[in-house]
Homo-oligomer: A and B are copies of this chain.
Amino acid sequence: MNFLETRIQTDGVVKAGNVLKVDSFLNHQIDISLIREMAYEWQRRFNGKKITKILTIEASGIALASIVAGIYNVPLLFAKKSKTINLDGELYHAEVESFTHKTTSNIVVSKKFLTSDDYVLIIDDFLANGCALKGLISLCDQAGAIVSGIGIAIEKGFQDGGKLIRDLGYQLESLAIIEAMDDKTGKITFRKN
């Protein structure tokens, strides 16, 4: 197991319904030393890729993406969730479905900050069905920006988001891919690299 898988096995809590709680170190309380190590691992995996901007989505991706942006020394841009579609043409927007909440929301970025000059590294904490990622990729496509890579902390390998994104040809680097979780025993099975 790598350092993140070890931490997930130690401090993650498996709940019924394939829910993994990592709120002690990743998405409520955040262990900055851990995410710095994750950021360096992404830098290693995306070695040679041109990256001019880090893109994430509020809220829990922002901490991860900030540390990555600091290492690459490029600006961070975070997509905002918006209830209303702005009609004045200043924003790119994409629809994101939430299977958990059975809702559709809009995510937006200002057109000023994402352009055809940008080479984007997308960073987020979780990948399950891929809806949020598809939204972020759509924002880049609308801007004519290049998606240089996608870094995910934890991928739920038993859902189809990862396959979907890889089949589209993107370099998707998930630092931990979960194949199965058992809320009775707490056992987590990770995909072998």
Chain A residues with a Cβ under 8 A of chain B: 23-24, 28-33, 36, 58-59, 62-63, 65-67, 69-70, 73-78, 80, 109-110, 112-113
Contacts and interface: CB of A to CB of B under 8 A. Distances in A.
Nearest to A58: B59
* Chain A contact surface mostly: mixed
22 contacts: A23-B110, A28-B77, A28-B109, A28-B110, A29-B77, A29-B112, A29-B113, A30-B66, A31-B75, A32-B66, A32-B74, A33-B73, A58-B62, A62-B66, A63-B63, A63-B66, A63-B76, A63-B78, A66-B67, A67-B67, A67-B70, A70-B70
Given A33-B73, A70-B67, A28 B62 contact: no
Given A23-B110, A58-B58, A29 B66 contact: no
